[in-house]
């Protein structure tokens, strides 16, 4: 590379990206790459390409600023390593790959002494870095606050740059605090600024997510930390009778200890409509849980499937085995492993509730049920929500609905992809312009 071209690339990162990788960047991406603001925050829609820009920005700093130290932060080490993989992917796409003196799965060092390091999400394990040139915090709204607070002092002597990129997660945490602070330059990139996503796909996603969560994930709205964040009381009709011959399933969420409660929610389905028929909610010792669950299963009837969230590890397997062999022997019972954050698992149920496809059978549990749903995910407890969302999932995902049932959420199985913190590229769209 000629000295003149190298100088042009050092001054203009967007030009470097276009001439090196053949990328035509969106306007916000050009601004993100070239910004020299010491504190800059990008409030980004899903599928805006923020992880790719994070990788390019880190690589540009390392290649054109000898001795630079760039730190990559994500909500988990797996995500940080995935972001670093994008850095290596870009490096490998360069026509003349710069020589490295060190390269592994989590860091690299250039011949000029620059380093890029992806950090774990544990603040106790990241101390010791100093004179940091740049910190890039990807999916910042999900990064623990204590990790953010541990990283800030690393810029004290270097006067380095701190970049936050994320989709909102409510009016809480350091990402929202930064958004409210005059010390940060703020830029919003909504789905309207991204022309790669098909309108029909967005319409389908909006139906699946519900209007409020669509506002957060694609319109970058910081949702109020108040009742109605995911569920609203006006969505639910309380009825005195449910149709006969409903397909049913009971899902249990067992207390994990401390002040947790055990919750069991019975849901029925017919013609694509759902009825919450009963909610059991108690704080009991293990033996009490077994008696409650056995008694409830007898009351529901032996033909009603019983599902229970299976905790990870050998203890979770052993508990499910005990219920299958002893407590619920003779019933249609099995454990179900849950993956992804609680909010993601609750989304399909919340969307069905917003569409007024879920009714409540009148009972003494109605108020408690609505109180917990309408404070989720900011309330003190979420066991009823977990059990209700799990029962709803069991009904349509495991094919427990009746012959006349329809799946009201055609993308239900893909929902976790919309909130998968491990990959920003969870949502499909046509024409990915980035080669790595």
Establish if 60 belongs to a structural domain. Answer: yes
- Residues 6 or more apart in contact with residue 110 via CB below 8 angstroms: 62, 63, 66, 98, 99, 100, 101
Range of the domain at 53: 3-195
Q: Which helix (H) or strand (E) holds 411?
A: none
Tokens of 325: 């062999």
Q: How far apart are CA 293 and CA 291, in angstroms?
A: 6
Q: Domain total for the chain?
A: 2
Task: Looking at the structure, tell me whether residues 266 and 120 fall in a common domain.
Answer: no
Ramachandran bin of 159, using left for φ above 0, alpha for ψ from -120 to 50, beta for the remaining angles? left
Task: Looking at the structure, tell me whether residues 301 and 391 fall in a common domain.
Answer: yes
Q: What is the mean pLDDT of each run of 10 residues along the chain (436 residues)?
A: 77 90 86 89 90 90 93 84 89 90 90 90 70 91 87 86 91 91 93 86 78 84 67 91 93 77 94 94 84 94 93 88 93 89 89 93 91 82 92 79 39 29 35 42
Q: How far apart are CA 123 and CA 2, in angstroms?
A: 42
The structure tokens 């880190």 sit at 58
Establish if 206 belongs to a structural domain. Answer: no
Amino acid 66: pLDDT? 93
CATH number of the domain that residue 343 is part of: 3.30.420.240
Amino acid 1: pLDDT? 52
- Residues 6 or more apart in contact with residue 255 via CB below 8 angstroms: 261, 262, 283, 284, 289, 383
Q: Residue 160 CA to chain centroid, in angstroms?
A: 29
Task: Looking at the structure, tell me whether residues 153 and 244 fall in a common domain.
Answer: no
The structure tokens 């203890």 sit at 315
Task: Looking at the structure, tell me whether residues 155 and 27 fall in a common domain.
Answer: yes
Establish if 141 belongs to a structural domain. Answer: yes
Task: Looking at the structure, tell me whether residues 143 and 259 fall in a common domain.
Answer: no
Task: Looking at the structure, tell me whether residues 87 and 133 fall in a common domain.
Answer: yes
Q: Tell me the pTM.
A: 0.57
Q: Residue 406 CA to chain centroid, in angstroms?
A: 27
Establish if 219 belongs to a structural domain. Answer: no
């Amino acid at each position: 590379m000629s000295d003149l071209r190298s100088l042009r690339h050092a001054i203009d990162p967007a030009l470097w990206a276009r001439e090196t990788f053949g990328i035509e960047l969106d306007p916000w991406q050009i601004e993100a790459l070239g910004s020299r603001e010491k504190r800059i925050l990008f409030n980004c829609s899903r599928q805006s390409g923020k992880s790719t820009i994070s990788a390019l920005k880190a690589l540009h700093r390392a290649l054109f600023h000898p001795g630079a130290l760039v730190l990559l932060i994500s909500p988990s080490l797996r995500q940080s390593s995935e972001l670093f993989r994008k850095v290596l992917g870009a490096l490998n796409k360069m026509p003349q790959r710069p020589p490295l003196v060190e390269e592994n799965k989590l860091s690299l060092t250039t011949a000029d002494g620059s380093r890029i390091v992806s950090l774990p999400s544990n603040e106790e394990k990241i101390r010791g870095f100093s004179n940091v040139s740049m910190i890039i915090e990807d999916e910042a709204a999900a990064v623990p606050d204590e990790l953010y607070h541990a990283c800030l002092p690393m810029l004290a002597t270097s006067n380095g740059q701190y970049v936050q990129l994320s989709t909102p997660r409510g009016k809480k945490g350091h990402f929202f605090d930064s958004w409210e602070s005059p010390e940060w330059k703020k830029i919003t990139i909504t789905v309207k600024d991204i022309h790669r996503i098909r309108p029909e796909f967005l319409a389908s996603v909006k139906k699946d997510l519900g209007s409020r969560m669509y506002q957060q994930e694609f319109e970058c709205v910081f949702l109020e930390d108040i009742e109605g964040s995911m569920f609203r009381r006006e969505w639910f009709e309380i009825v005195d009778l449910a149709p006969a011959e409903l397909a049913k399933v009971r899902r249990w969420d067992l207390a994990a200890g401390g002040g947790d409660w055990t919750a069991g929610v019975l849901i029925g389905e017919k013609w694509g409509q759902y009825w919450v028929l009963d909610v059991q909610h108690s704080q009991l010792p293990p033996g009490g849980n077994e008696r409650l669950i056995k008694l409830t299963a007898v009351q529901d009837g032996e033909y009603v499937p019983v599902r229970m969230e299976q905790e990870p590890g050998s203890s979770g397997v052993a508990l499910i085995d005990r219920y299958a062999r002893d407590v619920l022997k003779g019933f249609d019972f099995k454990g179900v492993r849950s993956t992804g954050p609680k909010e993601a698992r609750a989304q399909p149920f919340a969307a069905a509730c917003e569409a007024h496809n879920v009714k409540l059978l009148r009972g003494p549990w109605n108020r408690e049920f609505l109180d917990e749903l309408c404070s989720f995910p900011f309330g003190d407890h979420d066991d009823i929500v977990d059990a209700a969302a799990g029962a709803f999932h069991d009904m349509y995902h495991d094919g427990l609905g009746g012959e006349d049932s329809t799946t009201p959420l055609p993308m239900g199985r893909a929902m976790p992809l919309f909130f998968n913190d491990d990959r920003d590229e969870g949502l499909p769209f046509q024409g990915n312009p980035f080669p790595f």
